[in-house]
Chains A and B, each alone.
Chain A
Amino acid sequence: MLTFILHRLLWLLPVLIAVATITFALMHLVPGGPWDSNRRLPPAAEENLNRRYGLDKPLPEQFIDYLADLAQGDLGVSYRSLNRPVSAIIWDGARVSFTLGFIALLVAVGFGVPVGLLAALRQNTVIDYASVGFVSIGASLPSFVTGMLLLVVFSAELHLLPTAGWGSFRQAIMPVLALSILPAAYISRVTRASMLEVLQQDYVRTARAKGLREQVIVMRHVVRNGMIPVLTVIGPVAAALVTGSFIIEYLFSIPGIGRTFVTSIGARDYGVIMGTTLFYAFVVVLFNLMVDILYVFVDPRIRYQ
């Protein structure tokens, strides 16, 4: 097990370097630069800026400089938020997005798994259709539509909830709802499918034949085994939630990293783009690793050499 973890962690480095290289290349290939806006900077000013931030050096040299700084933990500064350290920007944004995403994940799993389980146990009854259908309807709309609807209903019409910002519990309700609907539907669907498949298994039939009570069967066999595919799904869902959704953060004015990232791409804010991409890559790889580890613990049939 330990060697497995170590092996995967060692792969982290080449993955990050590959991501860094591709991002750096793409960033500079895309037309437009950090100083572009709808009026031209005086040419001397542009020269001064490029010289100050090392943007007048040849690209390979810039890349090596970046890697060298990175090795020392220096992610550089932002241009859009002039001279603010990229690490501070990522830290501030990621904290917010992570909290929001984590709560949304809890809600999604907290609703999705029981609903899916219920639907599986009561397959093809009204309860099955109603519960899965209900969750799916919320998931059949693009997230910005769901978000806007929530805003219109709860803020504009009912004046119950605040529209903007981040900080209090009330401000988090709508974004969490909007964010968790799609994953909840997806998780409930996967749970239902997986539980259904387990319910067909011979060992469940055997357990019933043995005369075990239904609830024991469900708890000990069905849920345990049925959760495996659900866990694999939760991994990427969690990673996506935690890295922030631009649309939700834009609509609800949440200072998260999803919004910062998209804005930085539009602004060609190189430092933030690189830093955030590496951060994302790190999170995704880490989450995949955690899921794979979890997998091993939950399903003893899986063996990794």
Chain B
Amino acid sequence: MTLKLRGSWLWLLVVAVAVAAAALTACSDSDDDGNGGTTDGGDGLAADQTLRIRLIGEPTTLDPQLAAFTPDIGVVKQLWRGLFYYGDVDLSIVPAAALEIPTVENGGISEDGLTYTIKLRDDLTWSDGQALTAEDFEYSLKRLFDPAAGGGGYYYSYYTDIIGGQEAVDGGSLDEVSVSAVDATTLEIKLSQPRATLLTLLALWPAYPVREDVVSTGESWTEAGTLVGNGPYVLSEWAHDDHITLTANENYWGDDQPTLETIDYRIQPNEGAALIAYDNGELDMTPIPLTDAARFADSPEQIQYAQLATLGMQFNVTRAPFDNVDVRRAFTAAIDRDTFVNDVRGGVGQATTSWLPPGILGYDADRGKDYAFDADQAKQFLEDAGFPGGEGLPDITLMVGDSQSEALSSQFVQEQVKRNLGVDIEIETLEGATFEDRFLSSDFQVTLGGWSADYADAENWLPSLWGTEASNNISLYSNTQFDDLMEQAAAELAPEKRADLYRQGEAILIDEDVAFGPIYHNVKNWLAKPWVDGIAFTEADSETPGDWFFTRVSIKEH
């Protein structure tokens, strides 16, 4: 008995010792301790200029003409620079690869606003040293309409004012796309109608240049080692589903030279674990989960700022009972937004009755005031609709996807409608892609939806989402007056007149038709370590605060 007893104890002991020994010896191979170095890198900068951020998921692609999701766009923005870029946090447009902003005065824009002649800098290079010319831009912008490339993406449709674009996507010849390199430093673009936002669009990722010989190497040209960009950073490592490493581009020609030497993206889908990683010193920046908002409300490391995003009740205005405008009014007025934002969301957000967020030209602070929270008013609207006290209403189902935030918001809305209108609605929770399928085919009565800006212009908020023919018109809204206003605004170049036209359009959309029931504008709530210096956040950040201006970020000594 004794030996066998010792035998099995021995076995247990051996395993335990082995594990412990290995753990102890491995304790010294710490590769994810915080930024090492209290040694001075000069000017109070740390010796190790590495920024470690969390990425919410593996990027679908790093091809600029196809980048669609926030991880894709966030990384792409560091690897390339287009003709123009944002100059500062006010999102003003400045030249990047271009030499100067084209205007009618300097001949960059023709009198009729249909021809753009853009001069490029003559010192442009790719990250491998080769010269970057207008031909590269011609190739890339044409590629945006190539059915085998950008023609299979989301964003080419913003650029279809370029003559020949839509035809190319539909199968026509790419040579007909009217983007041409007049010479090595001059690019000419011809439009079918004037477009006020063209310069902004050329600052966005679908218009970034890629090199033909790189792309022709095959489908995996976006891997580290083959990918060639012209931006401040270079892709040095892409360990799929794990991490991405960018290093500073030695051949970067731009005026915004980076101080950071490395940007380390860790792919960490679970935000709770990401917060722990931040606490543990493994990440320099991380988002604050909603459930922890109260805990960090007074933290000096918190970064909180408004986003160009709106969320609320998205009605299918062709399906009963939401085909009745008074029912939509009733539901919109029944939601206590302030309680939602302040109590349930811990102050993270901004209650609103407007579709356009503040910061978009055309935003009106009084928008939707008639539908601010008022239970009695809401009940009155319902009576006006012909359903006093909710009598006669068909069954109503609020359809949502399976995320935590949708569960929270939908249960809140359900309770509000019950309490303030006396109406019982069902929540139908669908698995992600099942939800999207129903959503995209408008097969629902009401859901929780909204929009997040691609760029800071009302044109991104109104015609493409609410126009009668718009492909993204999920609510099936149609109003010819609105369509007319949108058409006028599209061809208008003067900013004030455009803003006014869009304002009028939104007035019809919200004040008159209540096509959407706004609840709140989202707010970014992140944490950043005190040694991360120079974060310049904007309302149009993709995922990480300040990701348009990482070249301004540096790591202080710590």
The reply to whether B152 and A115 contact each other, CB–CB distance below 8 Å, is: no
Residues of B within 8 Å of A40, CB to CB, are 440, 471-472, 474
- Tell me the residues in window 467-513 of chain B with beta carbons closer than 8 Å to chain A beta carbons: 471-472, 474
* Partner of A32 from B31, B32, B69, B433 at Cβ < 8 Å: B433
**Contact A169-B29, Cβ < 8 Å, known A52-B152, A164-B277:** yes
Number of A-B contacts defined by CB within 8 Å: 187
B295 at the interface (CB under 8 A from A): no
Nearest-Cβ distance from residue B189 to partner chain A, whole angstroms? 20
Q: How far is B439's CA from A251's CA once the two chains are assembled, in angstroms?
A: 29
B365 at the interface (CB under 8 A from A): no
**Contact A169-B241, Cβ < 8 Å, known A114-B11, A121-B4:** no
Q: How far is B31's CA from A165's CA once the two chains are assembled, in angstroms?
A: 12
Nearest-Cβ distance from residue B185 to partner chain A, whole angstroms? 32
A170 at the interface (CB under 8 A from B): yes
The reply to whether A31 and B240 contact each other, CB–CB distance below 8 Å, is: no
Residues of A within 8 Å of B219, CB to CB, are 77, 83-84
The reply to whether A43 and B241 contact each other, CB–CB distance below 8 Å, is: no
What is the total number of residues of chain A having a CB less than 8 Å from a CB of chain B? 65
A260 at the interface (CB under 8 A from B): yes
* Partner of A81 from B19, B60, B154, B272 at Cβ < 8 Å: B60
Residues of B within 8 Å of A83, CB to CB, are 61, 219-220
- Tell me the residues in window 233-285 of chain B with beta carbons closer than 8 Å to chain A beta carbons: 239-243, 266-270, 272-274, 276-277, 279-282
**Contact A165-B169, Cβ < 8 Å, known A155-B277, A266-B431:** no
The reply to whether B440 and A214 contact each other, CB–CB distance below 8 Å, is: no
Q: How far is B281's CA from A186's CA once the two chains are assembled, in angstroms?
A: 36
B438 at the interface (CB under 8 A from A): yes
Which one of B22, B66, B471, B474 has the highest number of Cβ atoms from chain A below 10 Å of its Cβ? B471
Residues of B within 8 Å of A151, CB to CB, are 272-273, 276
The reply to whether B434 and A152 contact each other, CB–CB distance below 8 Å, is: no
Nearest-Cβ distance from residue B436 to partner chain A, whole angstroms? 4
The reply to whether A215 and B1 contact each other, CB–CB distance below 8 Å, is: yes
The reply to whether A80 and B60 contact each other, CB–CB distance below 8 Å, is: yes
Residues of B within 8 Å of A168, CB to CB, are 26, 29, 31
Residues of B within 8 Å of A173, CB to CB, are 23
Q: Mark interface residues in B152-194 (1 if CB within 8 Å of A CB, else 0).
A: 1110110000000010011000000000000000000000000
Nearest-Cβ distance from residue A270 to partner chain B, whole angstroms? 12
The reply to whether B266 and A165 contact each other, CB–CB distance below 8 Å, is: yes
Which one of A36, A48, A92, A164 has the highest number of Cβ atoms from chain B below 10 Å of its Cβ? A164
Q: How far is B155's CA from A45's CA once the two chains are assembled, in angstroms?
A: 10
The reply to whether A156 and B280 contact each other, CB–CB distance below 8 Å, is: yes
The reply to whether A214 and B434 contact each other, CB–CB distance below 8 Å, is: no
The reply to whether B242 and A255 contact each other, CB–CB distance below 8 Å, is: yes
The reply to whether B157 and A115 contact each other, CB–CB distance below 8 Å, is: no
The reply to whether A39 and B472 contact each other, CB–CB distance below 8 Å, is: yes
Residues of B within 8 Å of A82, CB to CB, are 60-61, 63, 66
The reply to whether B15 and A110 contact each other, CB–CB distance below 8 Å, is: yes
Q: How far is B36's CA from A293's CA once the two chains are assembled, in angstroms?
A: 53
Which residues of A line the B interface, CB within 8 A?
A: 30-33, 36-45, 48-49, 51-52, 77, 80-84, 89, 92-93, 107, 110-111, 114-115, 117-118, 121, 148, 151-152, 155-156, 159, 162-170, 173, 214-215, 218-219, 250-253, 255, 259-260, 266-268
Ordered by A's residue number, 19 sampled pairs between the chains whose C-beta atoms are within 8 Å are: A31-B437, A32-B437, A40-B440, A45-B157, A52-B148, A80-B58, A80-B60, A81-B61, A118-B9, A162-B277, A167-B242, A169-B26, A170-B29, A252-B273, A253-B266, A253-B269, A255-B242, A259-B269, A266-B433
